[in-house]
Amino acid sequence: MERDVFEADHRAFREVVRDFVTREMAPHMERWEKAGIADREIFAAAAKVGLVGFNVPEEFGGGGVDDFRFNAIVAEELAASDVHGPGFTLHNDVVAPYLLKMANDEQKARWLPPFASGEEIWAIAMTEPGTGSDLKGIATTAVRDGDDWIINGAKTFISNGINSDRVIVVAKTDPAGGSKAFTLFVVERGMDGFTRGRNLDKMGLHAQDTAELNFDNVRVPAANLLGEEGRGFYQLMTNLPEERMSIAVSAVAASRSILDQTIEYAKTRTAFGQPIGSFQNSRFLLAELDTEVDIAQVFVDRCLRALSAKKLTHVEAAKAKWWTTELQQRVVDRCVQLHGGYGYMNEYPVAKAFVNARIQTIYGGTTEIMKEIVGRALGV
Amino acid sequence: MSGSEVETELRGAIARLLRDRCAVDTVAALADGPEQWDEGLWGALAEVGVPGLAVGEEHGGGGAGFALAAAVQEELGRRLAPVPTVSLFAVQAALMAAGSDIAERWLPRLASGEVIAAVATGRTANGWGAAEDVHAVRGRDGWSLHGHVPVVADAAAAGLLLVASITDDGDPSLFLTEIDPSTGVHALEALDPTRSLGAVTLDGPAECVTGPFKYDTVLAIAENAALVMLAADMVGVGAEATDLAVEYAKTRHQFGRAIGSFQAISHRAADMFVAVESARALVAAAAGALDEDPGSGETRIAVRLAAAQALDAAVAATQGCVQIHGGMGFTWEHPAHRYLRRAKGAEALIALPDRLREQAVTAVLHSRKEDSHA
């Protein structure tokens, strides 16, 4: 089904992104997966052609483009090629909005230029060993000491955790708790007491560095407080539509890509004297999945249009996130089955697509939390 | 004869009787007509001892237990028999568990089929409870019941009701009261006309079967028995719906071959078959548990899991039967809709499968907790 959400500029951008992903990233995937981390230089290379930092204002060295459809194109092209190592979408879709919306002028001047050029890599640290969906359980603390803050605690599952030069850390600044107890700080590579734990071994996304971070009396100057003291919880909320749409967009793109590959496989692979796709079971299954992925694409495109017009609600984004990522689970699962024994072999893209998809219903807010959000909005 | 030979023989005998007395046309005529149930068929079943199958020999029954009664119920379900066995077996289970003089006085009449009994309770999320709008009053001449029970299965056939009620003294108790279906029962138009539903008005003398001491246990056993019998009925409904679909898929040709040779049809029929077979195994286990220890926590769990699976399987199989028959399955003349109605009707009558599983898991967690305290 023809998509009507993009215009000429977007289509030209997609060509650039696809070219970069194919030539500069895909050939390195195997090495990155073995190493458990991508080359950090790829951020700067990507920034040069505009894959990273395009939404930073031009005065800070970015592309000055505030249109989420460009973000979506990067997410889609990475997902379609199952290239995942460097957290470009984390940079573009999650970190950039925080800095653009919450950093003061001094901070912007300090942080945005190296961010936009890809010289500095960022991460955001919310999750802790004991705190996932329920953010109010965060135990990392920040205590004021003169002009500084002293941070103590541990974070885990942090994407870009090893490569990152600066990390947005959510910490509790009011021991009394409640939704006004949290503040965001930017912790920098080299600060005393800031150390990285393990680069975590995961089911999939092997080229993505996902790490534990430890904070032992890390002294952070007040100049690195991001946004307002006590407003961290609300600041985290404001950017949710972007984060969730980023995942939804990639879910549909990954589903479409692996489904198309599987349809091709079903046409060429024969069993019992005929292509397996011509058996009714396979044909119907492919018909169902193709229909559902088209439906998902239409819904996501509609959300995308709303988001680029700043009209998408967090409830709509939650719907898109859970439904598309659950669809992706079914798509990759059935595509493995249609590949038979080969689907189980890592040399086939479908095997990797299967494991790489699994986190999608979990990070960025689990399916269950998304349904809570939708359900609560219904008043039930 | 071994147990399974007895069962095979009994199933065969009932199936033959039903082929003669309960053919598709007979059921259709009754379902589309004014009769609420098949009294003639009931007489024939009573002659071969069906009403007393589960009742002990000391009370004039066959002493065959609920396991065999469930096998018979499956055959009855297969033919959509419009007879009140599910309700009757439930009341018998309650009376055997109560063991009171009153219970023992009624059991032989229920075992012979002379009197048919049905159950009038309230319904809660956790299953059966006391009927809400019924007053039990103790007078000089004994107990009397006054009030209204909105839905009672098989009331149209019943001469006796087992009523769960809170007395005016605040004690939960079980009563038996005689009713006259021609005056005290208002027939309800139900989705499934092969299992009559009625609203019952009570205003007359009653006997107390059990007071608060054994109330919970006896009511739970009655509910267990009803669930097992209804589940067995659903196995029969699902099995026959599957057979009808498979038979049709073999003979109906499209695109130059039998439609059953298309995977879309053969896989669906296979799924239906597997669902029904699993349900049959679970129902057999639950009926066995009911014979061994009708009131135990284990039985409660087995019964609910069996009923949930059987209801799901019956709905899936009867839906599949309609779908595989295509346009034919949507006609009034074809029996497919009668099977679907019986399945959906059972679901509405007893409980949604999810609710049953919820009850089962609550019982599992409860027993774990007791284990850890031991």
Domain residue ranges of chain A, discontinuous segments joined by +: 8-120, 123-231, 239-377
Name chain A contacts of B264, Cβ cutoff 8 Å.
Answer: 280-281, 284
pLDDT class for A179, splitting at 50, 70, 90?
confident
Enumerate long-range contacts of B327-333, CB under 8 Å, 24 or more apart.
Answer: B328/B248
Same domain, B225 and B202: no
Same domain, B201 and B335: no
Q: Residue A279 and residue B264: Cβ atoms within 8 Å?
A: no
Quick check: A285 pLDDT over 60?
Answer: yes
Distant-in-sequence, close-in-space partners of A89: CB < 8 Å, separation ≥ 6? A71, A74, A75, A78, A246, A250
Q: List alpha helices for chain B, DSSP H.
A: 3-21, 24-32, 39-47, 65-78, 85-98, 101-111, 181-184, 212-251, 263-292, 297-324, 336-349, 353-373
Residue A280 at interface with chain B, using a CB cutoff of 8 Å:
yes
Distant-in-sequence, close-in-space partners of B279: CB < 8 Å, separation ≥ 6? B231, B234, B235, B238, B306, B309, B310, B312, B313, B314
Q: At what angle do helices A280-308 and A68-80 cross, to 10 degrees?
A: 150
Q: Which two tokens stand for residue B89?
A: 């077996």
Give the pLDDT score at A134: 81
**Which residue of chain A is at minimal alpha-carbon distance from B268?**
A281
Q: What is the mean pLDDT of residues A291-306?
A: 98
User: Quick one: how far is CA B245 from the chain centroid?
Assistant: 24
Give the pLDDT score at A306: 96
Distant-in-sequence, close-in-space partners of B43: CB < 8 Å, separation ≥ 6? B113
| Domain limit, last residue, from B214, B233, B249 | B214
Same domain, B221 and B322: yes
3-state secondary structure of A35: helix
- A with B: how many residue pairs have Cβ under 8 Å apart? 9
Name chain A contacts of B267, Cβ cutoff 8 Å.
Answer: 281
Pairwise CA distance, residues A202 & B237, whole Å: 48
Pairwise CA distance, residues A328 & A293, whole Å: 9
User: Quick one: how far is CA A231 from the chain centroid?
Assistant: 23
Same domain, B247 and B340: yes
* Domain span including residue B199: 117-214
B122 to chain A nearest CA, in Å?
27
Give the pLDDT score at B373: 63
Same domain, B228 and B195: no
Give the pLDDT score at B176: 97
Question: DSSP class of residue A94?
Answer: I
B264 to chain A nearest CA, in Å?
6
Give the pLDDT score at A238: 85
Residue A284 at interface with chain B, using a CB cutoff of 8 Å:
yes
Fold of domain A8-120: Butyryl-Coa Dehydrogenase, subunit A; domain 1 (1.10.540)
Share of chain B above pLDDT 90, in %: 87
Give the pLDDT score at A42: 97
Same domain, B35 and B104: yes
Helix, strand, coil percent content, chain A, rounded in steps of 5: 55, 15, 30
Q: Which two tokens stand for residue A287?
A: 């018909």
Same domain, B33 and B104: yes
CA-closest candidate to residue A212, choices A139, A156, A153: A156
Q: Give the count of domains, chain B.
A: 3
Share of chain B above pLDDT 70, in %: 99
A66 to chain B nearest CA, in Å?
48
Q: Which two tokens stand for residue A337?
A: 């089955």
Answer whether B122's CB lies under 8 Å from B132's CB.
yes
Fold of domain A123-231: Butyryl-CoA Dehydrogenase, subunit A; domain 2 (2.40.110)
Name chain B contacts of A284, Cβ cutoff 8 Å.
Answer: 263-264
Give the pLDDT score at B198: 95
**Which residue of chain B is at minimal alpha-carbon distance from A279?**
B263
B267 to chain A nearest CA, in Å?
8
**Which residue of chain A is at minimal alpha-carbon distance from B259?**
A280
**Which residue of chain A is at minimal alpha-carbon distance from B267?**
A281
Name chain A contacts of B270, Cβ cutoff 8 Å.
Answer: none
Distant-in-sequence, close-in-space partners of A150: CB < 8 Å, separation ≥ 6? A142, A143, A144, A217, A218, A219, A220
Please state the pTM of the whole predicted model. 0.84
Name chain B contacts of A271, Cβ cutoff 8 Å.
Answer: none
List the 258-317 stretch of B: residues with Cβ below 8 A of A. 262-264, 267
Complex ipTM value: 0.72
Quick check: B350 pLDDT over 80?
Answer: no
| Domain limit, last residue, from B181, B214, B247 | B214
3-state secondary structure of B37: coil
pLDDT class for A163, splitting at 50, 70, 90?
very high
Q: Which amino acid belongs to residue A70?
A: F
Give the pLDDT score at A132: 81
Same domain, B231 and B199: no
Give the pLDDT score at B137: 95
Pair type for strands A141-145 and B253-254 = unpaired
CA dihedral A229, A232, A237, A243 (to 10 degrees): 120
Q: Look up the CATH number of the domain holding residue B136.
A: 2.40.110.10
Q: Residue B264 and residue A281: Cβ atoms within 8 Å?
A: yes
Give the pLDDT score at B372: 67
CA-closest candidate to residue A17, choices A96, A72, A94, A57: A72
| Domain limit, last residue, from B189, B214, B239 | B214
Same domain, B226 and B368: yes
Longest dimension (CA), chain A: 79
Give the pLDDT score at B20: 95
A277 to chain B nearest CA, in Å?
12
Which residue's structure tokens are 């219904």?
A378
Same domain, B136 and B223: no
Answer whether A284's CB lies under 8 Å from A218's CB.
no
Q: Look up the CATH number of the domain holding residue B10.
A: 1.10.540.10
Q: Residue A284 and residue B262: Cβ atoms within 8 Å?
A: no
Name chain A contacts of B263, Cβ cutoff 8 Å.
Answer: 279-281, 284
Residue-averaged pLDDT of chain B? 94
Q: Which two tokens stand for residue B99?
A: 């063991």
Which residue's structure tokens are 């299967």?
A354
Q: What is the mean pLDDT of residues B135-146?
A: 94
Same domain, B188 and B222: no
pLDDT class for A288, splitting at 50, 70, 90?
very high
Instruction: Report domain A239-377's class.
Output: mainly alpha
Same domain, B365 and B262: yes
Q: Which two tokens stand for residue B356?
A: 């049953």
pLDDT class for A342, splitting at 50, 70, 90?
very high
Q: Catalogue the active-site residues of A.
A: 243
CA end-to-end distance (rounded Å), chain B: 43
